[in-house]
Amino acid sequence: MSIESRLSPLDEANMAPEQRRVLDAILSGPRGNLDGPFLAWIHSPALADHAQRLGAFCRYDTRLELRLTELAILFTAAWWQSQAEWQIHAPIAREAGVSEAVIEALREGREPVFERDDEALVVRLGESLYTTRRVDEGLYAEAVAAFGEPAVVELVGVFGYYALVAMTLNVFEVRRGSTPLPFPEPPQAGPVA
């Protein structure tokens, strides 16, 4: 699969030792590839090092079922209209048990019809967090009752981490070349006067 971006290409022969160390850590970890935001972050080895460890936790080690983590990631990708984030995570979400109807509704910007209350709750939390930048007392209490306080803390971490991922992918225009874009590309802005 070809990966495209506006970043200068990495030449492994000319990598700094810190870049090489972080690249080796990423390649030997659960991801096994330099994909998505890591194409950008490897240009800043310290950021890449911290981000890849946080990302591994958010993706693989939270108390939430993978289905719910991937739903939070897809909600974030749709919110930010992050092409590569969606391209990477839609198949994973599908495999983890998120229904095709929910996936398509998120991609199209429609309110999904949920068969599972926990999925509806994850999306309501994401909507509240991204729209109002807060979660009211009632929704917070509902989330804690459903998932437990530590899992709610981790879910907020998933939303925050994947917002960083989405911003990175959008700014550096990371694309998976052989996969159709899930969202229309916005028009390019002109120069600011």
CA distance 33 to 94: 21
**Span 108-157, pLDDT tens digits:** 999 999 999 999 999 999 999 999 999 999 999 999 999 999 999 999 99
Q: Which residues pair with 4 in a beta bridge?
A: 175
Six token digits for residue 68: 């719910």
Contact present, 88 and 35 (Cβ < 8 Å):
yes
- pLDDT reported for residue 29: 67
Nearest to 96 by CA among 126, 127, 118: 118
Indicate the average pLDDT of the chain: 89
Burial state string for 28-66 with b = 16 or more CB within 10 A and e = fewer than 16: eeebeebbbbbbbbbeebebbbebbeebeebbeebebeb
**Span 25-44, pLDDT tens digits:** 777 766 666 667 888 888 88
Q: Tell me the pTM.
A: 0.89
Residue with the larger pLDDT of the pair 46 and 6: 46
The one-character DSSP state at 13 is G
Q: List helix spans (H) across the chain.
A: 17-28, 38-41, 45-60, 66-80, 83-96, 100-108, 117-132, 137-147, 149-171
What is the identity of the amino acid at 88? I
Name the CA dihedral angle for 29, 31, 35, 41, rounded to a multiple of 10 degrees. -40
- pLDDT reported for residue 82: 95
Residue 56's pLDDT band, with cuts at 50, 70 and 90, is confident
Residue with the larger pLDDT of the pair 37 and 23: 37
Q: Which of 41-45, 89-93, 184-188 has the lowest mean pLDDT?
A: 184-188
Arithmetic mean of pLDDT, 69-74: 98
β-pairing verdict for 175-176 and 3-4? antiparallel
Nearest to 1 by CA among 63, 91, 67: 91
- pLDDT reported for residue 9: 76
- pLDDT reported for residue 11: 76
The one-character DSSP state at 2 is -
Whether 1 shows a pLDDT value over 70: the answer reads: no
